[in-house]
Amino acid sequence: MRKISELCLLAVVMVLLTGGDLFAQGKPLRFGMGVGLGKEVNIMSPNQAPSPYVSADFPSLYFPVDFSSFRLEPEIGLFSYFVGTAGDRSTVLPLGLGVFWRHEREKIDFHLGIRFGISFWWLRDTSDGDIEVGTKHDLTVGPAAGAEYFFTENLSGGGEAQLLYSHVGHLYTFGYDQSEANLVKTKTLLLLKWYW
């Protein structure tokens, strides 16, 4: 947790140091909204088998705010899915923020930076006739790089690659105690965004 705090502080200091350059090119703020779909590959976990495993990433909404050479990009998602056949249900609310440096070249916009995130989980188990509810939260942080191609002045499509450190929270539920864990995973995204 201390490393995550240090990385957040470092990102804030870097933003403050480059703050004078945010409006240097005289371009107005540009706002957008988009959707992203991707895949995650967990590559290191001390609590699980050493071989990597792939998991689907659910769609999230992204809200980029572009300055001349800088971008802030909040992220939010909400999804729910069934686990097994007994009516067990997991609901996840991921929230995140990307802090990026941008470089525009003709119709391509490159970005490089860091993403921070927290996911809130609610799990429901009805397998033994009783309803048991568990909650936890996971923290993620890591570098990200990507590019967008502008089909028109407002519509872009692109991709992003991430290397994320995840701290999986403590879960009390279903008659057992799942301890905390740390993961390193990669994530790739396909993005479609609209700017105004």
Averaging pLDDT over each range in 56-70, 150-164, 172-186, which range is the top one? 150-164
pLDDT confidence bin for 59, thresholds 50/70/90: confident
> From CA 87, how far away is CA 51, in angstroms rounded?
29
Residue 168 pLDDT: 81
Beta bridge mates, 159: 147, 190
Q: CATH for 2-195? A: 2.40.160.20
pLDDT at 123 > cutoff 60: yes
Q: The tokens of 174 are what?
A: 């279903």
Q: Identify the residue with better confidence: 75 or 8.
A: 75
For the chain, the straight-line distance linking the first and the last C-alpha, in angstroms and rounded, comes to 37
Averaging pLDDT over each range in 14-18, 24-28, 148-152, which range is the top one? 148-152
Tracing tokens 């009783």 back to the chain, one arrives at: 130
pLDDT at 50 > cutoff 70: no
Reported for 130-135, long-range contacts at CB under 8 A and 24+ positions apart, including other chains, are 132/173, 132/174, 132/175, 133/173, 134/171, 134/172, 134/173, 134/174, 135/171, 135/173
CA angle 160, 163, 164 (to 5 degrees): 115
pLDDT at 98 > cutoff 70: yes
pLDDT at 54 > cutoff 60: yes
* 173 three-class SS: strand
134 burial (CB, 10 Å; 0-12 / 13-18 / 19+) is middle
Q: Identify the residue with better confidence: 165 or 181.
A: 165
Q: Identify the residue with better confidence: 28 or 156.
A: 156
